[in-house]
Structure 1
Amino acid sequence: MTTTLPAPVTLAPLAMADSNAAALTLGIAVYAAAILIGLGVGVNALIQGRRRRAVIAWAVVAVLTLAGVVIAIASSIG
């Protein structure tokens, strides 16, 4: 009877895996901060009666949100 050994497992270095996770976490945090800042600018502009600035800020928030949805769908497909 012959025994076969399993193929050797190759893993990425732990430091590289941690840096990728850290970069992804930082990117998500910056993305969320940009949306929250846009909302804050929009609300503040609306309170101060600056309608054009409020519309622009909310348009930026809408574009960021839609881009996030598209990226999430694309990453789940691929």
Structure 2
Amino acid sequence: MINIKQIHHVAYRCHDAKETVEFYQEYLNMDFLVAIAEDRVPSTKAPDPYMHLFLDAGQGNILAFLNCLTHPK
């Protein structure tokens, strides 16, 4: 049996990076850690601008959000 002690991060999709960070800071008192912006998918190099946000969820756990910067028409 596996004994999980912590999760590094869980990621969800969001539509507005700034609004998402502000919500989790204000209502859940989470600290913003870092944002990483990319223009291409790291594994395939396909064009796909996005931002990956990381917030401190406590006890070594991180809550992450993926904000796609292009939207389907």
TM bracket (short chain): under 0.3
Higher relative strand content: 2
TM-score for the superposition, normalised by structure 1: 0.24
**Higher relative contact order by CA 8 Å / sep ≥ 6: 1 or 2?**
2
TM-score w.r.t. the length of structure 2 is 0.25
Instruction: Mark the structure with the bigger radius of gyration.
Output: 1
Question: Per residue, is there more helix in 1 or in 2?
Answer: 1
